[in-house]
Amino acid sequence: MNLLPKSITRVIESFEKLPGVGTKTAQRLAFYLLHVPLDEVERFADSLKGLKKGTVLCSVCKNVTEVDPCPICSNPNRDHLTICVVEQPTDVLAIEKTGIYHGVYHVLHGAIDPLNNIGPDEIYINDLIKRIKNKEGINEIIFALNSSMEGEATIMYIMKQLSALRHQTSAIKVTRLANGLPIGADIEYADEVTLKRAMEGRREW
């Protein structure tokens, strides 16, 4: 017998689908919302609806944006010949916060993770390779992926793809962030100073 009203169960189930949220937390959140004034809950629900309707992926860099191309890709003052490859849109925010990077980005939306069935086709690797192939005169590709097994596997895979295009990509400098980011650390959680140092001290592959 289900002791909870359906409307609450439905909310709990929705929260449970979010990353890092277990049953206990989902229940706590659902009951918390039960006590929040109706207009606030409505604003919350509206913002969730707007999340999908109000955003698109930039056709160039795959970052989440309101307009396509995104403000970074359409900014003539950015260096469009330097591409920083990151896993998540939040990594773009973290790097932008350092204020030292003036190139453009490519957001993969994940990393290769065979244990969770995420292969190269599940993330935006092919779009990156195509982008590199089609854009002439690229100076540098910076890998700013998380220092994890998945991040490493992703870099290895992309490098392999690039070496197949060697005649075209040999002039491109490939770098990665300097050591200093703890192993297993996510870029988005790195503090600004560490990330800034890692970016400045990036080394060639």
- Could you identify the residue written with the tokens 């969730």? 48
Residue 87 CA, chain-centre distance (Å), reads 4
**Shortest Å distance, C-beta 47 to Zn ion:** 23
Binding site for Zn ion (CB under 5 A): 58, 60-61, 63, 69-70, 73
Name the residue nearer to Zn ion (CB basis): 39 or 66. 66
Shortest CB 86 distance to Zn ion, Å: 12
By the 8 A CB rule, do 202 and 177 touch?
Answer: yes
Which one, 60 or 199, has the nearer CB to Zn ion?
Answer: 60
Q: What's the DSSP call for residue 83?
A: E
Helix, strand, or coil (residue 158): helix
Smallest separation (angstroms) from Zn ion to the CB of 50: 20
Residue with smaller CB distance to Zn ion, 70 or 132: 70
Terminal Cα-to-Cα distance of the chain (whole angstroms): 60
Q: Which is nearer to Zn ion, 26 or 95 (CB)?
A: 95
- Nearer to Zn ion by Cβ, of 30 and 60: the residue is 60
The CB-of-70 to Zn ion minimum distance in angstroms stands at 3
Task: Tell me how far, at minimum, the Cβ of 82 lies from Zn ion, in Å.
Answer: 14
At residue 101's C-alpha, the angle toward residues 98 and 105, to 5°, is 110
Residue tagged 């870099």 (tokens) = 155
Closest CA to 176 of 86, 98, 96, 88: 86
**Which token pair is 101?**
């990077």
Rounded to the nearest whole angstrom, what is the least distance from the CB of residue 74 to Zn ion in the complex? Answer: 8
For tokens 């970052």, name the residue.
63
Structure token pair of residue 144: 């700013």
Closer residue to Zn ion in complex, CB, 69/103:
69
